[in-house]
């Protein structure tokens, strides 16, 4: 075991490479939290002593799995058996679940060290925004709803965090905070013990300091390799602007064009793709499904104590938008019909490159940003990765997104590592 | 309040009609449980004293909702905050959740009195069968996986029970036990706190002594009236034999033909329908989706303590059937493409009449029966009702099934009440 790794080296890499003990990794996280969490306001609870004890046990014991000794945080919509789960909701103050959510249990079983809970938009849906701030500039939003997960990872407080995505709640905040984010194929990681919002869209998300750690966390969550890694062969990447490209800001267009240039310069193939027709309505259908299902998801809370629900949540229970069952059926059926068309269009590509976010994060008081470039892919159940490495005019992070066909999760993460290395090698982006 | 209702009158009806107090209803359930549960082995836990106290409070207070004072049981795959939730699994002995499942909370909020937990097939999926017996003859199965829910209601131990359906786990046992069963449209009743098996199929189910009580319980669960009740106008019913009619036994064919005759004699219209082409593969696709998703659902249990999982559950985690992602994608897409076709084919009908089960329940040692006439409708997300009233050559119950388009739940339950009354008026069936 060498001396402590340099501050610039990713914590997970240093730890898993043997340059850092698990105890040192937890201590570094705790020091960083002490230093910056007063500004980012990411963590809502910490189990510092227990995490240190577990880290020492990891250092003394055999490897439990791909996350052996890696500290991780958990978005506060996942049940945890040893810390309260409050959903940033007045209804759940002090609520202590009896058992870990499945994803939490899987990260722990793979050797991860559970460090604490991080903030969320209330119920991860239509509730109050948290006070969490962007770690790169506290005047700006970290994005949502996985605000704490992204701010904590992007701010170097923890190398890995559980998140979730129903519209854009993993990819968007990861992009805003300069972290890597992964939304798996719908259904590929168990959602048991994660607060339901819109069950046909809800997906466990992961936010990490790099895509290598995302892959390890994905493996911990049961995502086995379904294809050979690309190795050194040239990648074939489709550049999919999506039907919403006019909403991309200059910094997003720049990040995409720069990524394409880096890929081509390294010998990879990048081709423009148009995508299946009908995709321009996917965001609307996603919104209809999300509202239609959320109406059911909060019925029990609404029956128990409506006054403790945010007006935005009460509105969705009462179907304030007036969504009809005919509209909901149409949204389900149209999205379902497009899923195989997207898979087919992507066949033969390692991934499609798309915008991750419109641009830099908005100022804090303007909300947590738009999911314009996320809703459609969430509805299609496609695996998505956000890669950091670019900055906009205010010096704030802007990610780019890679998307792959359903169930090509591990191949997407393999591909992402190649792309990430190209972006990372450019020092003056 | 009149004297105690006759033993033949449904308990829920007597209670809600004012012929019985909530306390009397609970006392009658407890007496019946004392009398018969040693044979049916439906209940795994009871909260007799608390239920009596709650019933007295209901009697003394204003109406809380459509289930005011109605005793109900809960399948032991739903979290309950005041009784353990054990899933009939050695892994969860004594497990005490911190909070009620959403459906449990909704039944309670609507005035229902939670009486106790009833047995299930282990994890409601590929695990061990319970020792529960058919209340009409203990040599026969009550069906599964909602074995306890159906046996308790069919045996008169409780008028209402929460169940679930991923293949045929509500409609099949209800039919076998002489109870009414309801599987709502997928997504219409919240599944939070119900053990996930295959999330795109999992549906909260209800089993009750009659379809009037099913409707009240459905209203408690948030199913509002989406259409006018049919009133006294003639119904238009399609007779859909399904692609599997050759597997229907004589008693099922008899029950369907008799139902058609009763309908026509009462002035209702019954027409043969063929159904959309491609439906013959729906059961196989349902099976692929169920296994494909269950592989994910038990990952955390498998990581924690594989030895405490039934070999059948371990097999599904390890994908013993070797289902490929391509097969899973095809199953999703083919089923999704048929959903609007079924809705369109059913337009203009009040419901389709179909077999509920192949025939009478099998003998106990032969397993818990087949879901042949349920899998396809579960995959299509359609609401289904099982109506009792017929018996086979061994004198055991055989139900018939009514199915409606997605989201026509309340209209289906209204229609079911008309059909149920016709069947019930025949004394010599």
DSSP string, A103-169: HHHHHHHTT-EEEEEE--SGGGTTSPPPS--BTTBTTB---SSSHHHHHHHHTTS-SEEEEEESSST
Residue A16 lies in a domain: yes
Neighbours of A276 (CB within 10 A): 18
Whole-angstrom Cα distance, residue A298 to residue A317? 6
Q: Do A333 and B329 touch (CB under 8 A)?
A: no
**pLDDT mean over A266-285:** 97
pLDDT for residue A425: 67
Backbone φ and ψ of B166, nearest 5°: -120, -30
Query: β-strand A71-75 against A113-118: which pairing, if any?
Result: parallel
Q: Residues A408-418: what's their mean pLDDT?
A: 97
Tell me the average pLDDT across A254-281. Answer: 97
Report residue A18's pLDDT band, with 50, 70 and 90 as the boundaries: confident
ipTM, 2 decimals? 0.96
- Angle at which helices B325-346 and A325-346 cross, to 10°: 150
Alpha-carbon distance B105 to B102, whole Å?
Answer: 5
Count up the domains in chain A and report the number.
2
Residue with tokens 């982006």: A429
Whether B83 and B118 share a structural domain: yes
Closest by CA to A378, choosing from A186, A225, A249, A246, is: A186
A7 has a pLDDT exceeding 70 = no
CATH number of domain containing B112: 3.90.1300.10
Neighbours of A370 (CB within 10 A): 19
Kindly name the residue from A164, A169, A297, A410 that is annotated as catalytic. A169
Identify whether A302 is part of a domain: no
* Residues 6 or more apart whose Cβ sits within 8 Å of residue A330: A285, A288
Same domain, B26 and B155: yes
* Minimum-distance CB partner of A200 among B102, B109, B187: B187
Can you tell me whether residue A44 is helix, strand or coil?
strand
Boundary-marking domain end, from B220, B250, B268: B220
Q: How far apart are CA B410 and CA A214, in angstroms?
A: 45
Residue A226 covered by a domain:
no
Contact between chains at A109 and B300 (C-beta distance less than 8 A):
yes
Q: What's the pLDDT at B218?
A: 98
pLDDT of residue B426: 63
State the pLDDT confidence band at A337, using cuts at 50, 70 and 90: very high
- Residues B270, B147 share a domain: no
Nearest-5° angle of CA B195, CA B198, CA B202?
Answer: 70
Provide the pLDDT confidence category of residue A249 given band limits of 50, 70 and 90: very high
Picking from A168, A185, A220, the residue at the C-terminal end of a domain is: A220
Q: What tokens appear for B152 in the block?
A: 């308790």
Q: Which residue of B has its CA nearest to A84?
A: B98
Q: Do B16 and B121 lie in a common domain? A: yes
Rounded Cα–Cα distance for residues B93 and B416 (Å): 39
Alpha-helical runs (H) found in A271-403 = 282-297, 299-304, 311-317, 325-346, 375-379
**DSSP-assigned beta bridge partners for residue A118:** A43, A75
Do residue B124 and residue B165 come from a single domain? Answer: yes
Q: What value does the mean pLDDT take over residues A108-119?
A: 98
How many residue contacts between A and B have a Cβ separation below 8 Å? 119
Same domain, B96 and B195: yes
Query: Does A225 score more than 90 pLDDT?
Result: no
Closest of B135, B107, B174, B175 to residue B41, by C-alpha: B135
Clarify whether residues A170 and A199 are in a common domain.
yes
In sequence order, the 6+-apart residues with CB closer than 8 A to the CB of B142 are B40, B42, B132, B133, B134, B135, B148, B150, B151, B154, B173, B176, B177, B361, B368
Yes or no: say if A288 and A322 are a contact pair by the CB < 8 Å rule. Answer: no
A117 given a catalytic annotation: no
| Domain co-membership, B89 together with B166 | yes
Angstroms from A108 CA to nearest CA on chain B: 10
* B264 and B183, same domain (yes or no): no
Q: What is the pLDDT of residue B17?
A: 84
Please enumerate in sequence order all residues whose Cβ is within 8 A of that of A55, keeping only pairs 6 or more positions apart, or say none: A21, A22, A23, A25, A26, A69, A71, A113
A14 has a pLDDT exceeding 90 = no
Would you say residue B173 lies in a domain?
yes
% of chain A with per-residue pLDDT over 90: 92
Residue B53 shares a structural domain with residue B119: yes
Residue A318 lies in a domain: no
Cβ–Cβ under 8 Å, residues B179 and B404: no
Among B191, B220, B249, give the residue marking a domain's end: B220
Q: Is residue A288 part of a domain?
A: no
User: What are B43's two structure tokens?
Assistant: 């209940």
Do B145 and B52 have their domain in common?
Answer: yes
How far apart CA A256 and CA A390 sit, in angstroms, is: 9
Residues of B with CB under 8 A from a CB of A: 95-100, 102-103, 105-106, 109-110, 187-192, 195-196, 199-200, 221-222, 226, 293, 296-297, 299-300, 303-304, 325, 328-329, 332-333, 336-337, 339-340, 343, 406-407
pLDDT of chain B along its 429 residues, tens only? Answer: 333 434 456 888 888 888 999 999 999 999 999 999 999 999 999 999 999 999 999 999 999 999 999 999 999 999 999 999 999 999 999 999 999 999 999 999 999 999 999 999 999 999 999 999 999 999 999 999 999 999 999 999 999 999 999 999 999 999 999 999 999 999 999 999 999 999 999 999 999 999 999 999 999 999 988 778 888 899 999 999 999 999 999 999 999 999 999 999 999 999 999 999 999 999 999 999 999 999 999 999 999 999 999 999 999 999 999 999 999 999 999 999 999 999 999 999 999 999 999 999 999 999 999 999 999 999 999 999 999 999 999 999 999 999 999 999 999 999 999 999 999 866 444
Averaged pLDDT for residues A134-144:
97
> Is residue B263 a contact partner of residue B229, using CB atoms and an 8 Å limit?
no
The whole-number pLDDT of residue B2 equals 36
Report yes or no: A175 and A399 within 8 Å, Cβ to Cβ.
yes
- Give the span between the Cα atoms of A410 and A216, in whole angstroms: 10
pLDDT exceeding 70 applies to what percent of chain A?
97
| Res. A4 pLDDT band, cuts 50 70 90 | very low
Q: Would strands B351-355 and B384-391 be described as parallel, antiparallel, or unpaired?
A: unpaired
**pLDDT level of residue A1 (50, 70, 90 thresholds):** very low
pLDDT value for A12: 84
pLDDT at B175: 98
Strand partners, B400: B355, B387
pLDDT tens sequence across A143-182: 999 999 999 999 999 999 999 999 999 999 999 999 999 9
Task: Tell me whether residues A221 and B105 touch, CB distance under 8 A.
Answer: no
- Residues near B352 by Cβ (< 8 Å), separated by ≥ 6? B237, B238, B239, B240, B273, B346, B402, B403, B404
Say how far apart CA B122 and CA A345 lie, in whole Å.
42
Sheet with B160-165: strands ordered across: B43-46, B113-118, B71-75, B160-165, B203-208, B180-183, B384-391, B397-403, B351-355, B236-240, B269-273
Q: Determine the structural domain holding residue A349 and report its residue range.
A: 236-281+327-425
Residue B296 domain-assigned (yes or no):
no
| Residue A10 pLDDT | 81
Beta bridge partners of residue A225, listed in sequence order = none
Cα gap B59→B68, rounded to integer Å? 9
Integer CA distances (angstroms), A420 to A179, A258, A386, B32, B96, in order: 11, 12, 10, 67, 45
User: Worst-scoring range by mean pLDDT, A145-149, A221-225, A351-355?
Assistant: A221-225
| Active-site residue, A427 included | no
Asked if B99's CB is within 8 angstroms of A95's CB, the reply is: yes
- Catalytically annotated residue among A75, A117, A183, A195: A75
**Nearest one of B61, B71, B68, B65 to B11, comparing CA atoms:** B71
Q: Is the pLDDT of residue A326 over 90?
A: yes
Q: Does residue B36 fall inside a structural domain?
A: yes
Residue A8 has pLDDT above 80, yes or no: no
Do residues B249 and B391 both lie within one domain? Answer: yes
Catalytic residue numbers of B read 75, 145, 169
């Amino acid at each position: 075991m060498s001396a402590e790794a340099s501050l610039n080296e990713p914590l997970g890499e240093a730890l898993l490479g043997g340059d850092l003990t698990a105890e040192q990794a937890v201590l570094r996280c705790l020091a960083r939290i002490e230093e910056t969490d007063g500004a980012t306001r990411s963590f809502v609870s910490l189990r510092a002593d227990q995490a240190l004890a577990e880290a020492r046990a990891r250092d003394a014991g055999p490897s439990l799995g791909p996350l052996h000794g890696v500290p991780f945080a958990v978005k506060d919509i996942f049940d945890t058996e040893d810390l309260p789960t409050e959903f940033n909701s007045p209804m759940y103050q002090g609520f202590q679940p009896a058992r870990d959510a499945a994803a939490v249990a899987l990260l722990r079983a793979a050797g991860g060290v559970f460090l604490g809970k991080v903030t969320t938009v209330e119920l991860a849906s239509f509730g109050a925004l948290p006070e969490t701030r962007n770690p790169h500039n506290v005047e700006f939003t970290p994005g949502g709803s996985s605000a704490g997960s992204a701010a904590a990872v992007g701010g170097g407080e923890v190398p890995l965090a559980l998140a979730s995505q129903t519209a854009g709640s993993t990819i968007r905040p990861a992009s805003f905070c300069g972290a890597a984010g992964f939304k798996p194929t719908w259904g590929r990681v168990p959602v048991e013990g994660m607060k339901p919002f819109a069950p046909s869209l809800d997906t466990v998300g992961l936010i990490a300091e790099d895509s290598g750690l995302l892959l390890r966390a994905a493996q911990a969550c049961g995502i086995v390799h379904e294809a050979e890694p690309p190795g050194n062969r040239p990648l074939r990447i489709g550049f999919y602007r999506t039907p919403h490209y006019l909403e991309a800001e200059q910094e997003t267009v720049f990040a995409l064009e720069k990524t394409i240039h880096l890929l081509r310069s390294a010998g990879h193939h990048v081709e423009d793709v148009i995508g299946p027709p009908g995709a321009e309505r996917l965001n609307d259908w996603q919104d209809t499904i999300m509202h239609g299902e959320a109406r059911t998801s909060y019925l029990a809370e609404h029956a128990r104590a409506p006054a403790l629900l945010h007006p935005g949540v009460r509105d969705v229970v009462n179907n304030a938008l007036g969504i009809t069952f005919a509209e909901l059926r149409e949204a389900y059926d149209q999205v379902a019909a497009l899923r195989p068309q997207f898979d087919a269009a992507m066949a033969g590509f390692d991934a499609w490159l798309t915008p991750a976010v419109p641009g830099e994060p908005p100022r804090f008081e303007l909300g947590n940003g738009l999911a314009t470039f996320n809703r459609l892919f969430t509805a299609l159940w496609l695996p998505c990765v956000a890669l950091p490495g670019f900055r906009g005019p205010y010096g704030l992070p802007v990610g780019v997104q890679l998307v792959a066909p359903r169930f090509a999760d591990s191949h997407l993460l393999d591909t992402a590592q190649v792309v990430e290395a190209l972006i990372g090698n450019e020092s003056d982006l």
